[in-house]
Amino acid sequence: MTGYFNPPYRCGMASLSMNAAAPSHCAVCARIAFLFMLTLPAGAAMPRSPPSAPAPGAWTPIDARQLIPRLYGASHMLWLSDGPVRARLALRLLRGAREHGLDPANYDVDRLERRLDEPLDRTAAIAFDRELSTAMLQYLADLHAGRVASAYRQVPGTDRGFDPVDRLHQALQEGGLEDVIEAAAPSIPLYGRVKSALARYRDMARSAPHWAALPHPSPAVAPGDAYPGSALLRERLRLLGDLDGVTEADDGTYTAALAAAVRRFQARHGLAEDGILGPGTVAALSVPLSRRVTQLALTLERLRWLPPITSGRVVAVNVPTYRLWTVDARDNYAAPSLEMRVIVGTAARTQTPLFIGEVRYLEFNPYWNVPPSIQSAEIVPRLARNPAYLEQNDMEVVGADGRPRQLAPAAALDALRAGSARVRQRPGARNVLGELKFAMPNPMNIYLHSTSAKELFGRSRRDLSHGCIRVERPAELAQFVLADPQRWNAAAVAAAMADGRNRSVSLPRPVPVILFYATALADRHGRVLFSQDIYGLDPALAAALHLE
């Protein structure tokens, strides 16, 4: 699956900031990516097109009109031959598109219902029948692989195994229309959890249509402080499920019980879990429930983009939550075996691209081969200011043959400017890649790696790299991908990391890595988790799905 990615991306690696206290910059979300023109009968809805052209080789949404001839063959009517009962069931199922974060208007439900209530001669009935079939096929296709063009390319070896025509034809012949809808949607547990969360947040939005902003604290409010919004805060935390079983009278104080509930809220929203009512926490508490509903609906669409990967171990990274999980696809993505914090590409300049790669080998104590963009923009200016810069940072100049060159600082600067040499950083304590690199060959040169600036994992916002992904617990991830507890147990991995020797180890089989993007998730404990839209990707997708 090497190199299945969105449009070409400028690669870069880890930070050049060797000062551990400064933000560093390195080079890059729970599963992954996804065919199908007769003119519709007059008045039928046209499928909405994606907002922009997809990446070359990307999966693009199915146009159900192309499937109609294959569904009907020599038949004239599939829905009305025995009366309107099946047609009404189909329309009810199409109305259920909202449960999956889709708009029933995409399938022209209102107009089809009106037409079904009108007297239909044979010609009109045949036209209606085909319109309803088109709507149902489009719904099945959208449910199975997404309505909007995917960010991911179709991945070899991942057979979706779902043909809307065959499934609908079988359901019409044998019954079980409800079952075919269920079969079309992703089967991974995460999809079901997010779908349930969407229903719950829609119910909350109906019960609390007026979502007032909380009073803004200045300065931040700590437990025991007076807070004029304490009554509203208590009501809101109860509604959201973060304040349970606490029955205390409101006296205008930010109590310890409220602070404990705020910590639970902060944990669900990617905020510092300090129980302090500061501007960031108040802003998150003031986000309208309608916005949370949209975030959950967008996650369902993004999960529909993911192709089935059933071949074993999978690493998944959700970029906006700065989290990595490892799961076994053979267990249908059940509970993760590992979860850890990560650092991703900075939002302003070097966003982590979304794609599916494969870890093929590990490199213990790697060299960092500085990308040309970083070399010209950062290394050369620093070397020009400080002739000892390379030596101070364990860097060396390498010729076109890959061998180190012993050059005086001025000659090294000339060679770098001329492009006849490049810079790499030697393995060691200063190396920005740390002790481990998880190589997944791709044209963007994006990979996972450890880091020498481990203190950065303590930050709540961690888009600090040039695009690659820094992992918090590289030794445990290495054991997971190597999958060889006899040869590569914890002690063996630790020894290979500690001896300082540069060494590559091929994996017995490649491990897929899914770089995903979702600002709303639901964990296996039923908690609904939200994060900031750090790359600003939600509005365009919401507009394409007509959710806002």
Strand ranges in 29-101 using DSSP code E only, listed in sequence order: none
Q: How far apart are CA 525 and CA 30, in angstroms?
A: 14
Instruction: Please work out, in degrees rounded to the nearest 5, the angle formed at the alpha carbon of residue 546 by the alpha carbons of 545 and 548.
Output: 120
CB contact at 8 A, 306 and 150: no
Q: Which amino acid is at 197?
A: A
Residues forming a β-bridge with 402:
none
Q: Which amino acid is at 332?
A: N
The pLDDT assigned to 334 comes to 65
CB contact at 8 A, 234 and 243: yes
For CA atoms 458, 460, 461, 462, give the dihedral sign.
positive
Architecture of the 4-30+306-366+429-517 domain: Beta Barrel (2.40)
Cα end-to-end distance, the chain, whole Å: 35
The pLDDT assigned to 335 comes to 66
> pLDDT by residue for the chain (548 residues), tens digit each?
333 333 333 333 333 333 333 333 333 233 322 222 222 233 333 333 333 344 444 556 788 898 999 998 877 889 998 889 999 999 999 999 999 999 999 999 999 999 999 999 999 999 999 999 999 999 999 999 899 988 776 554 455 578 899 999 999 988 889 999 999 999 888 999 999 999 999 999 999 888 988 998 888 999 999 999 999 999 999 999 999 877 788 889 999 999 999 999 999 999 999 999 999 999 999 999 999 999 999 999 999 998 877 668 899 999 999 999 998 877 666 667 899 999 999 998 889 999 889 999 999 999 999 988 889 989 999 999 999 999 999 999 999 888 999 998 899 999 999 889 999 999 998 899 999 999 999 888 899 999 989 999 998 899 999 899 999 999 999 999 999 999 999 999 999 999 999 999 999 999 999 999 999 999 888 899 999 999 999 999 999 998 86
The pLDDT assigned to 47 comes to 37
* C-alpha pair distances (Å), 130 with each of 51, 64, 110, 163: 27, 11, 16, 18
For CA atoms 236, 241, 242, 245, give the dihedral sign.
positive
The pLDDT assigned to 16 comes to 35
The pLDDT assigned to 209 comes to 84
Is CATH 1.10.150.20 what the domain over 212-287 is classified as, yes or no?
Answer: no
* C-alpha pair distances (Å), 313 with each of 451, 470, 485, 517: 24, 20, 15, 20
Instruction: Please work out, in degrees rounded to the nearest 5, the angle formed at the alpha carbon of residue 461 by the alpha carbons of 324 and 467.
Output: 60
The pLDDT assigned to 224 comes to 94
Q: How far apart are CA 214 and CA 288, in angstroms?
A: 11
The pLDDT assigned to 59 comes to 58
The pLDDT assigned to 6 comes to 35
In this prediction the pTM is 0.85
Classified as helix, coil or strand, 287 is: coil
- In the chain, where the domains are located: 4-30+306-366+429-517, 64-185, 212-287, 372-425
Q: Which amino acid is at 49?
A: S
Give which of 225, 221, 345 is closest to 274, Cα–Cα: 221
Consecutive H or E run containing 294? helix 289-304
What is the signed CA dihedral for 488, 493, 494, 495, rounded to 10 degrees?
A: 80
Q: Which amino acid is at 260?
A: A
Q: How far apart are CA 314 and CA 186, in angstroms?
A: 17
CB contact at 8 A, 139 and 162: no
Q: Which residue has the tokens 């304590």?
A: 429
Q: How far apart are CA 331 and CA 313, in angstroms?
A: 10
Consecutive H or E run containing 369? strand 368-369
The pLDDT assigned to 73 comes to 83
327, with CB counted inside 10 A (0-12, 13-18, 19+), is buried
Residue 388, number of CB atoms within 10 A of its CB? 9
156, with CB counted inside 10 A (0-12, 13-18, 19+), is exposed
The pLDDT assigned to 506 comes to 96
